[in-house]
Amino acid sequence: MKLYLPLLFLCFIGLGGCVQHNAETGMPIQDKGDRALQSAKIHTELAAEYFYRGQLDVAIEEINEALKAQSNYAPAYSVLGLINMTLNENSKALENFERAIRMAPRNPEINNNYGWFLCQRFSQRMDDAINHFMVAARDPLHSTPEMSYTNAGVCETKRQKYIEAQLFFQNALSIQPNYSPAIIGLIDIDFERGNLTEARSKLSQFLQNYAPTAESLLVGIKIERALDNQLAVDSYIYQLQKHFPESKEAVAIREGKIR
């Protein structure tokens, strides 16, 4: 399941900041603190964009600029944590996520990202990961709670708690009925439980109604391998490499990490 960074900065867009009016011209003068906040916000947004593109060096430069502007800007530390995670710098990632959480303990995007990091890199802290997802999902200001419920479902599937995972995926679909990661999550539960025919049928129905995703194609590969259908496996691999060559799923297939 891809990690998606959901509109990380929405909760800050509404900040108009303090303004003063020049007594001579009547023109507004931004307060210095507000200018610093806006600079940190812009540089962090740029860092997130470069992060999505895989330009990590440039993303780090933008984060450094953001923190120069405002050293206590929590979203910047969250994005830096994601960059560290991608670089397998787990200690640095943990430090930056924890710093972000201390600064903004209720921020849904930060909680979502921190939960994903814990789920992927610290299996012994899975309960903490789920708790962070729930803080995010239950925040009325969170723009994509279905994402946090789905991430929780993925992590519960990872530790084979399928009933809990199913409930999380269903919660996501109750919010966004066409949310494909949650649909794929339910199919993956069938696969993990050994219900291969049912998983194949549900995946076929999904692909008839939705555009394929890297996650759905990977699930197809796993299902067809388990059913010993090499032609179907090859077809899914071809589609994955053609349409999503830079995805972590495609990379895992090329490196032989998916059996």
Please report, for residues 91, 107, 123, 140, 192, the alpha-carbon distance to residue 16 in angstroms, rounded to integers and kept in the order given: 36, 19, 41, 21, 49
Asked if 2 and 152 count as a contact pair (C-beta separation under 8 A), the reply is: no
Which residues partner with 20 through β-bridges? Answer: 29
Q: Which residues make Cβ contacts (< 8 Å) with residue 81, sequence separation at least 6?
A: 92, 93, 94, 96, 97, 100, 113, 114, 117
Helix axes 145-158, 108-121, angle to 10 degrees: 10
Look up the CATH architecture of domain 33-105.
Answer: Alpha Horseshoe (1.25)
Instruction: Delimit the domains of the chain by residue range.
Output: 33-105, 196-258
Using alpha carbons, select from 231, 254, 226, 230 the residue that is nearest to residue 242.
Answer: 254
Q: How far is CA 45 from the centre of its chain?
A: 15
Helix axes 74-86, 32-53, angle to 10 degrees: 20
From first to last of the 259 residues of the chain, give the pLDDT tens digit.
434 443 343 333 232 333 333 334 444 545 777 899 999 999 999 999 999 898 999 999 999 999 999 999 999 999 999 999 999 999 999 999 999 999 999 999 999 999 999 999 999 999 999 999 999 999 999 999 999 999 999 999 999 999 999 999 999 999 999 999 999 999 999 999 999 999 999 999 999 999 999 999 999 999 999 999 999 999 999 999 999 998 989 999 999 877 6
